[in-house]
Amino acid sequence: MEIVCANCNTKVTTSFNLIYKYYTCFSCHSNYKFDNGINNFLDKQSNTAFPSLLKIGAKGVFNEEEYTVVSFSSRKNKENEIWFEYNLISPSDKRLFLIEDCGHWILEKEIDTKEITKSTGLTYKGIEYRKYETGKSQESYRCGFFNYKFDSNFSHYEEYINPPFCLSIEHDDKKKYYHGEHISRDKIKKIFNIDNLRAREGTGMVQPFYYNLTHVFTIFIIAILAITALHIFFYSQSKEQLVYQDVFDLNQVNKKELYTDVFELKGPIAPLSIDVLSNVDNSWMTTDFALINQETDETVYFTKDLEYYHGYSEGENWTEGSNNDEFNICGVSEGKYKIMILSNKDETDTNNTSLNVKIYWGKPDNWNLYVTIFIFLAIGALLYFIKNSFESRRWEDSYYSPYKKE
């Protein structure tokens, strides 16, 4: 079917015949009424400041069926908020509607009112929708093919949402229900092969969040349970081993490198625990260690300080520090090792003459498990905060916002 505007000769072509009553030229904005096979000129609209992004006659495929854009209209409510509606028709007379509001797109279709049930909001196909907005809107501009005459009077509308879905109700001659779903700008670009779409502003009415938080939390819970089970399994398989123990005379070995005999570790990866004890008394000592893998020559260095001070002041006894401590080297795998020990004590402390060292492998340690669980919980809390902030922005202009403070 081909339509030619009598005033500007602009041509519109569709691949199938349309049944329509009114036509508005998108070029010169002339209004026509179709009667007895003839387009009769009615009047002209003023130019709009918001031209149609999808041209009349543009084609796109939805649900494996080709649709043609047959009309475009802009609407505004009493708060002067403006949005745009595109009517799309397939050769089999199926109809879809594309709504663009501040760069956010929704694909809608009319549904049977019998499929809607009322609850605290509205329910459609088992999904409950919360009321988002009610108001009155008017058509401010149009172009393309229509079955109704241009009418600037206000009509009532309602919006219910459960992102990325929505239910829209229009109150004209009778109630009409529409079910909509968010569609991304990238999909619109791809479907219609265009690039000049308006940038998004704010958070869309049914714009989906970046990820499904329920799915993320489910994955986190499964991961925590799996990690905990593996932790329990590996520690149930491992047995604590005392791999080295000795007492050193600090009068002879202070500031000298000592090496333990080579010891062999057998079993799953486990932490190596080192317990140091020295009779520091109002003094300090530092001990350097080096764990040396005899098979790979890989060496790990670490240091442990012991300090213990005490006294009496202002009528009270006080103490600070300790003369023994324990620390772990995480993730030590099986193999043959030896350890270098280098002690350095306070030279003024003549009473401290010994250093007691005990080395265990496979000693149960839940620290890594606790850290892992904490990281999951911290990330979960952060994602929840981001999601809550996102939803708060979505509802900030809605009278029905669940985030408004009383």
Question: Computed from CA positions of residues 308, 311, 314, 315, in that sequence, does the dihedral angle turn out positive or negative?
Answer: positive
Query: pLDDT for 170-180, tens place per residue?
Result: 987 788 999 99
DSSP string for residues in 116-148: EEESSSEEETTEEEEEEEEEEEEEEEEEEEESS
Question: Residue-wise over 34-69: b if at least 16 C-beta within 10 A, else e?
Answer: beeeebeeeeebeebeeebbbebbbebebeeeebbb
Q: H helices within 249-320, ranges in order?
A: 250-253
| pLDDT under 50: residue ranges of the chain | none
Q: Which two tokens stand for residue 396?
A: 């900030």
Question: Computed from CA positions of residues 266, 271, 272, 278, in that sequence, does the dihedral angle turn out positive or negative?
Answer: negative
Q: Which two tokens stand for residue 1?
A: 């079917």
On whether the CB atoms of residues 103 and 189 are closer than 8 A, the answer is no
As separate numbers, helices (DSSP H) first and strands (DSSP E) second, the chain gives 4, 26
Q: What is the pLDDT of residue 47?
A: 66
What domains does the chain contain, in order, with CATH numbers? 2-208 (no CATH), 241-363 (2.60.120.380)
Q: What is the pLDDT of residue 132?
A: 95
Query: pLDDT for 350-401, tens place per residue?
Result: 888 899 999 888 766 677 788 899 999 999 999 999 999 999 999 998 999 9
Query: pLDDT for 261-284, tens place per residue?
Result: 898 888 777 788 899 999 999 999
CA dist., res. 245 & res. 277, Å (int): 11
Q: What is the pLDDT of residue 113?
A: 83
- The owner of tokens 């985030």 is 403
Region of residue 335 (phi > 0: left; psi between -120 and 50: alpha; otherwise: beta): left
391: amino acid identity, one letter: E
Q: What is the pLDDT of residue 237?
A: 65
